[in-house]
Amino acid sequence: MKKNISKKFQYSEIDDHQGPPGKRKIAAALNNLLEHKDFISITTAEISKASGVNESMIYRYFSDKRGLLHYILARYLKRMYTEIMDGLKHIEGSIEKLAQVIRHTLEIYDRNRVFAKILLIEVRNFPGYWESDSYRLVKQYAKLYTDIIEEGLAAGEIRTDIGKWHIMQTLLGTVEHMILPCIIFQKPINVDNCMNAVDKLVLKGLSVKI
Amino acid sequence: MKKNISKKFQYSEIDDHQGPPGKRKIAAALNNLLEHKDFISITTAEISKASGVNESMIYRYFSDKRGLLHYILARYLKRMYTEIMDGLKHIEGSIEKLAQVIRHTLEIYDRNRVFAKILLIEVRNFPGYWESDSYRLVKQYAKLYTDIIEEGLAAGEIRTDIGKWHIMQTLLGTVEHMILPCIIFQKPINVDNCMNAVDKLVLKGLSVKI
Amino acid sequence: MKKNISKKFQYSEIDDHQGPPGKRKIAAALNNLLEHKDFISITTAEISKASGVNESMIYRYFSDKRGLLHYILARYLKRMYTEIMDGLKHIEGSIEKLAQVIRHTLEIYDRNRVFAKILLIEVRNFPGYWESDSYRLVKQYAKLYTDIIEEGLAAGEIRTDIGKWHIMQTLLGTVEHMILPCIIFQKPINVDNCMNAVDKLVLKGLSVKI
Amino acid sequence: MKKNISKKFQYSEIDDHQGPPGKRKIAAALNNLLEHKDFISITTAEISKASGVNESMIYRYFSDKRGLLHYILARYLKRMYTEIMDGLKHIEGSIEKLAQVIRHTLEIYDRNRVFAKILLIEVRNFPGYWESDSYRLVKQYAKLYTDIIEEGLAAGEIRTDIGKWHIMQTLLGTVEHMILPCIIFQKPINVDNCMNAVDKLVLKGLSVKI
DNA sequence: AATGAATGAGAATTCATTCAT
DNA sequence: GATGAATGAATTCTCATTCAT
């Protein structure tokens, strides 16, 4: 009954008890609005109305509208990172670890559609993103993969003829692309199905054949 | 090794000799601008200036700014489809055909960065896209994959325990995400490297083990 | 079976056999379009498309878009004037003549909604109208009334304590206002009902009580 | 003869002390501009310039340019209604009441040319008007007439063979068309002359002959 | 910390009209 | 007489952002 409930997060929890109330309300409002609209077509007026906080407060708490978006994204990313690290504690074997990270990621995307939407869609066609703080966190997340891959290479579990960067890219790419239609068409993510495909297609191809 | 070099296309060729000059100039102008900016931040005024054609002509020849983008995308897609179909003529074996399609796709993306950018980034966060004419062409392209996969299933070349849709998704996803960073960071696509990874990771996993 | 059919006109007849075909087609096209849209929201492009004649021909045949409208209106007015004059030939008595003019006018408006619409709505809020050729024709039509009234005054049939201008205004005003809702709400004009009211309310008040 | 002079209103008074200053200035500016131009050819830029308030404020306070016009019209209509109701308090007899309403209306139109212009000209060729709030107020005003007419019918003061709707229409029509040239040609309205005509022509025709 | 008012700059789009052929 | 292409100037409306209080 108590399994790993504590690990599951959703936006509401993230920010609830820190920062001034106005700031929290604004962030929560944008988060909610993102469920049904895309960032660019959400106006600051709308955010203000939805949050009940005056429009100009957005500029007190955040650099600007985009800063607010990145703030939300960063919170999600931090939370995801911790959660995934936690889930990794008792897993042995690099391939198994990769599988666990991917499964966990899929679950989090499924539970937090807004997060997935921001990360996969909203943030990309904004040039500044690739120099942003949020992107730094994304790279931290990606490093999780390369670290595990290195571990696997060292342990002789993973084949050495591909290059860890390409492996990571393939894994990330496969995951993201599997869920993109679900995010866009607002369908649930079937984590087991996805894992099956990832496992059979990519992970199996990774391991050193004995 | 010298196959159908003559078929290689680049945007400039696509439209050069059809439609009124204004139309051509406008399309070419947006195409050029897309090399350095993203669609949403390119204004009609900019397009007009770059093309040397009056701003209002955009609305004579296209439904609106977005219609112009889709026009460009559709041309690319049509051209890509024909070229890839051509390149497929003398290939035998489903796995080989998939490899050929993917390699060809990568080459085209590499030669036509703007095309890749429109398809992978610009067009997605616009809801109308999924009902657009361009998306129809994308589905036509995707059907190429499923057709080949079916062929492979029938011929006993491809394993039957995954589902052709998932296979196609994985292939498309892997390709797209392999090149996304190249598109975004404006780096060349190393086709051979990519093919190596695709081949070893995904395609090998596809074929029936003997 | 042959009554006064020859007197009834509708736009199609007006212009059919004079002027170059392009001119006729353009005028006919605007006339048709006016049935469902108001002048200001009909574009020259629309007129061109509906007429099958090139947009620039509008400017060969007419001073501009408004000139075209006035051309149509003027034709209607001329035709109405002649028809009404004709219908007056064998009527005796000023009050009877006024009644006949009014009835005839109502019938024409009913048969030619576009005409009524142009005259009562489209043309008024354009300053130039009051100096236009069309307005000259309207004044000619109004003079019909004052002429008859003068005739009635001279003959001792109409009371002398009001002023012919006011009488004319009242008659025109009553008529126009009775039909305005019919024009706007696209309902048929009940000529007999209207005549009843005009007769009982206004005309009866005009005649010298014996 | 000195009745409720204090109740006489002009636009400037209407709005002066309510709503944010920007709103008031904008409404006042359009009101002034309407004195010399027609609505459709007054641009938002012009309104902004005339009011000294930023153009975008129009859209903060009103739905759009047309919303602003209706706002002005509605204020006029409300004010007129109250004033006319007040002026009716001590009048006896339905015919006398109708006369009083008409006289009062004429006076108000004379004092508030812009009001008359909006009501009789500007607002009509806009389809939305007939479903607008302003039109509701106009119907309220018209109901004043039919109410009085019913009263007169019940009291045996008004003849019963015409129908109250037609009577109202004739009265409204006569009034409106009497003043339309004055509004358009910017001439003063001679209230006494008009009343004389209305009285002799229409009202006398209304009353039951004894 | 908070609010309401105000701003400025730009954006897409529309159209009547003219020109070259 | 006719066409298609092109123009330019205007117009409404939007929004992120800042200011004064």
Are the CB atoms for B163 and A160 separated by under 8 Å?
no
d(CA A208, CA A147): 18
Q: Do A130 and B185 touch (CB under 8 A)?
A: yes
d(CA A42, CA A45): 8
What does the pLDDT read at residue C2?
40
Q: How many CB pairs under 8 A join A and B?
A: 94
Q: Please report which residue ranges of chain C form alpha helices under DSSP H.
A: 11-14, 21-34, 44-51, 57-61, 65-88, 94-111, 113-117, 133-154, 164-184, 191-197, 204-206
Q: What is the pTM of this model?
A: 0.80
d(CA D127, CA C186): 12
Burial class from Cβ neighbours inside 10 Å (0-12, 13-18, 19+) for residue A197 reads buried
Q: Which residues in chain C are closer than 8 Å to D189, comparing Cβ atoms?
A: none
Which nucleotide C1' is nearest A67 CA? F16
Alpha carbon separation from A181 to A114, A115, B10, B149, B164 (Å, rounded): 14, 15, 29, 21, 16
Number of other CB atoms surrounding residue D43 within 10 Å: 13
Which of B167, B178, B205 lies closest to A205 in CB terms?
A: B205
What does the pLDDT read at residue D4?
41
Cβ of D18 near strand E (distance < 7 A): no
pLDDT tens by residue, A45-97: 999 999 999 999 999 999 999 999 999 999 999 999 999 999 999 999 999 99
- Confidence category of residue A17, pLDDT binned at 50, 70, 90: low
**Higher model confidence: residue D201 or residue A134?**
A134
What does the pLDDT read at residue C6?
44
What does the pLDDT read at residue B120?
87
Q: Do D201 and C200 touch (CB under 8 A)?
A: no
Mean pLDDT along residues A135-156: 94
Which of residues 32 to 71 on C have a Cβ less than 7 angstroms from any strand E atom? Answer: 41-45, 55-56, 58-59, 64-66
User: CATH code for A9-206?
Assistant: 1.10.357.10
**Higher model confidence: residue C141 or residue D6?**
C141
Q: Which residues in chain D are closer than 8 Å to C138, comparing Cβ atoms?
A: none
What does the pLDDT read at residue A4?
41
Mean pLDDT along residues A166-189: 84
The whole-angstrom distance between B18's CA and the closest CA on chain A is: 32
Q: Do D181 and C169 touch (CB under 8 A)?
A: yes
Q: Please determine, for residue A159, whether its predicted confidence score (pLDDT) is greater than 50.
A: yes
User: Can you give the distance from the CA of residue B41 to the C1' of nucleotide F18 in angstroms?
Assistant: 23
What does the pLDDT read at residue D6?
45
Q: Do D177 and C166 touch (CB under 8 A)?
A: no
Q: Please determine, for residue C1, whether its predicted confidence score (pLDDT) is greater than 60.
A: no
Average pLDDT, rounded, for chain A:
87
Q: Do B173 and A173 touch (CB under 8 A)?
A: yes
Q: Is A207 helix (H, G, I), strand (E, B) or coil?
A: strand
What does the pLDDT read at residue D187?
82
d(CA B81, CA B73): 12
Listed as ranges, the nucleotides of chain F within 7 A of a protein C-beta are 1-20
Are the CB atoms for D18 and D9 separated by under 8 Å?
no
Mean pLDDT along residues C61-76: 94
The domain spans of chain A are: 9-206
The whole-angstrom distance between A91's CA and the closest CA on chain B is: 24
Mean pLDDT along residues C112-116: 96
Which of B173, B178, B200 lies closest to A178 in CB terms?
A: B173
Amino acid at C184: I
Q: Please determine, for residue C146, whether its predicted confidence score (pLDDT) is greater than 90.
A: yes
- Which tokens is C193 given? 């009902």
What does the pLDDT read at residue D5?
41
Which nucleotide C1' is nearest A58 CA? F17
d(CA A10, CA A21): 18
Mean pLDDT along residues A111-115: 96
Q: Which residues in chain A are closer than 8 Å to B35, comparing Cβ atoms?
A: none
- Confidence category of residue B209, pLDDT binned at 50, 70, 90: low
Which nucleotide C1' is nearest D59 CA? F13
d(CA B185, CA B116): 13
DSSP line for B71-88:
HHHHHHHHHHHHHHHHHT
Most confident of A7-21, A103-117, B168-182: A103-117
Q: Do D125 and C122 touch (CB under 8 A)?
A: yes
User: Can you give the distance from the CA of residue B121 to the C1' of nucleotide E4 in angstroms?
Assistant: 39
d(CA D75, CA D205): 34
Residue nearest to nucleotide F9 (CA to C1'): B56
d(CA A107, CA A95): 18
Residue nearest to nucleotide F18 (CA to C1'): A56
What does the pLDDT read at residue C125?
67
Cβ of B43 near strand E (distance < 7 A): yes
* Distant-in-sequence, close-in-space partners of C64: CB < 8 Å, separation ≥ 6: C58
- Confidence category of residue A210, pLDDT binned at 50, 70, 90: low
Q: Please determine, for residue C149, whether its predicted confidence score (pLDDT) is greater than 90.
A: yes
Alpha carbon separation from D103 to A137, C197, C206, D106 (Å, rounded): 78, 22, 21, 5
Which nucleotide C1' is nearest D41 CA? F11
Q: Do C169 and D162 touch (CB under 8 A)?
A: no
User: Can you give the distance from the CA of residue A131 to the C1' of nucleotide E1 in angstroms?
Assistant: 32
- Which tokens is C39 given? 């002048």
**Low pLDDT (below 70) residues in chain D:** 1-17, 125, 209-210
The whole-angstrom distance between A200's CA and the closest CA on chain B is: 7
Are the CB atoms for B165 and A165 separated by under 8 Å?
no
User: Can you give the distance from the CA of residue C52 to the C1' of nucleotide E17 in angstroms?
Assistant: 19
* Distant-in-sequence, close-in-space partners of B155: CB < 8 Å, separation ≥ 6: B94
Are the CB atoms for D59 and D50 separated by under 8 Å?
no
What does the pLDDT read at residue C10?
53
* Distant-in-sequence, close-in-space partners of D71: CB < 8 Å, separation ≥ 6: D27, D62
What does the pLDDT read at residue D93?
94
User: Can you give the distance from the CA of residue B71 to the C1' of nucleotide F2 in angstroms?
Assistant: 31
- Confidence category of residue C57, pLDDT binned at 50, 70, 90: very high
Mean pLDDT along residues B131-147: 93
Q: Do D176 and C178 touch (CB under 8 A)?
A: no
pLDDT tens by residue, B62-88: 999 999 999 999 999 999 999 999 999
Q: Which residues in chain A are closer than 8 Å to B169, comparing Cβ atoms?
A: 177-178, 181, 197
Which nucleotide C1' is nearest B58 CA? E13
User: CATH code for D69-206?
Assistant: 1.10.357.10
Mean pLDDT along residues B25-54: 94
The whole-angstrom distance between D9's CA and the closest CA on chain C is: 26
What does the pLDDT read at residue B82?
96
Q: Please determine, for residue B5, whether its predicted confidence score (pLDDT) is greater than 70.
A: no
**Higher model confidence: residue B125 or residue A161?**
A161
* Distant-in-sequence, close-in-space partners of B90: CB < 8 Å, separation ≥ 6: none
What does the pLDDT read at residue C187?
82
Query: Which residues lie across from B95 on neighbouring strands?
Result: none
What does the pLDDT read at residue D17?
52
- Confidence category of residue A206, pLDDT binned at 50, 70, 90: confident
Are the CB atoms for A67 and A116 separated by under 8 Å?
no
The whole-angstrom distance between D136's CA and the closest CA on chain C is: 15
User: Can you give the distance from the CA of residue A153 to the C1' of nucleotide F4 in angstroms?
Assistant: 68
d(CA B168, CA C149): 89
Q: Is D4 helix (H, G, I), strand (E, B) or coil?
A: coil
